[in-house]
Amino acid sequence: MSYTIDQWIAIKCSDLDSDSDKQQWIDGAKLHINQDSYGSKYNICVALRACHDFTVKQQQQDRISSGAAGPITSKREGDLSINFANNSSKSDIEAYLGLTTYGLELLSIQKGTLSRFGVTGDDNDTIIPICCTGNN
């Protein structure tokens, strides 16, 4: 059974499902998800990206109002110590998508779906392009 983008959003993120700007979030997500690349997983990927972007925006608004600098990873009371999350070892998009469970699920689908390209060589140092495709 194939769900629509709206159905996936209703299943995954009720806050976005009831948001008056839901279609704008969907339209924005579609800019980042290529239908040809994701095939039958396109609808869930668009929904996850919309849910992710919506949730990140909500988190940013909450942080601004509370004065926080990012997700807190640890606290200590004696001599006060607070550590904030830092995803600097990841690519920008992986760090961004890693901010929510929706983004992490989208990354998981991407890793199992998208084609990956690389090169290899032979004994004569000839560069040979290779492609390993995922499953749609």
pLDDT value at residue 2: 87
pLDDT value at residue 130: 47
Question: Which residue ranges of the chain lie beneath pLDDT 50?
Answer: 117-119, 129-136
pLDDT value at residue 15: 95
pLDDT value at residue 135: 47
Measuring CA to CA, how many Å separate 77 from each of 66, 74, 85, 110, 118? 19, 10, 18, 40, 49
pLDDT value at residue 100: 92
What pTM was computed for the model?
0.68
Q: Select from 127, 119, 98 the least CA-distant residue to 110.
A: 98
